[in-house]
Amino acid sequence: VLLSLDWERRFDHMQQHSGQHLVTAIAEQMFGFKTTSWELGRQRSVIELDTPSVTAEQIEALERSVNEKIRERVPVRVRELAVDDPEIETVRSRGLPDDHAGPVRVVDIEGVDSNMCCGTHVSNLSDLQVIKLLGTEKGKKNKTNLVFLAGNRVLKSVEQSHSTEKALTSLLKNGPGEHVEAVKRLQSSVKLLQKNNLNLLRDIAVLIARDFKSKPVRSPLLVLHRKEGDSEFMNIIANEIGTEETLLFLTVGDEKEAGLFLLAGPVEAVENLGPRVAELLGGKGAGKRGRFQGKATKMSRRGEVQALLQEFIGQQSPEA
């Protein structure tokens, strides 16, 4: 049998698993927090602690203590005990399955922890390099999830954070210490611009409606597209014009790809044409009381919709 081992992945799992044993043992010794489960994630790992909360001070003390053990270069050993060995009673575990047979595998962190385990581990805590506790998240059933990184994952996280920091420094034109304030200022500016843009769109919608209504001879069909509009923009136009006699086909968004549409007009006409308009535009919609609106994926077919509406109006006119 030829075996090919992905050592980088294996060593990563060893670091995270041994790191979990260490954090679990020290958390119970220092604060009485028992571990009920843990998850080895692809980027970060999580230990579920049987406590409703963990303070920032406790996290800091726990992180300091586990890294002291790493610096002390504590050995990690694997041994096997007979199932009837009385020493098994002193080993931390969830208990053996009823159908267990054969020896019991125990992982010892010298002077720190003895735990039943079938996983792969480092041979010395120094192989963990460092453990970083990233904080806590609310867990299930009044428990707390402690998020951590061990070994090379800490180095990768620092490298990624530094790359992000460099990119932000270039974009924001200031130092890392000022990034947060710079982003807050940008967010405030964006909110103000969005508000101003919305107000302008509302004003434009009213003006479009008034211009249409002021014409001596009002067309029975209004077709309008505006790239930067939204649903409110279309509905304002429909409200201002009134749709008892006029059929409105309004669209916003990309001229050829995705966007929004509104068909408004006499109730019977909209009920008849709405689903057909949505189908032509490759979209879906719904409506009531003379309005049918929805999302479209093929805005390039607006011309086909206009032709459909003109044909319908032609069929309804007295001359026809």
Same domain flag for 13 and 134: yes
Residue 175 lies in a domain: no
Contact 299, 251 (CB under 8 A): yes
| C-alpha gyration radius of the chain | 33
Domain with residue 65: its CATH number is 3.30.980.10
Average pLDDT, whole number, for the chain? 93
Q: Look up the pTM and report it.
A: 0.72
Read off the pLDDT band of 244 (50, 70, 90): confident
Strand 247-253, strand 221-226: pairing:
parallel
Residue 41 lies in a domain: yes
Q: How far is CA 158 from the centre of its chain?
A: 22
Residue 182 lies in a domain: no
* Average pLDDT of the segment spanning 260-283: 93
Same domain flag for 16 and 146: yes
* Average pLDDT of the segment spanning 112-124: 94
Residue 125 lies in a domain: yes
Measured between its terminal Cα atoms, the distance across the chain in Å is 85
Same domain flag for 62 and 117: yes
Give the count of domains, the chain.
2
Same domain flag for 279 and 200: yes
Domain with residue 269: its CATH number is 3.10.310.40
Same domain flag for 111 and 249: no
Contact 123, 75 (CB under 8 A): yes
Number of continuous H segments (helices) and E segments (strands) in the chain = 7, 12
Q: Decide: residue 234, CB within 10 A, 0-12 exposed, 13-18 middle, 19+ buried.
A: buried
Owning domain of residue 244? 192-316
Residue 251's pLDDT is what? 95
Same domain flag for 12 and 123: yes
Read off the pLDDT band of 318 (50, 70, 90): low
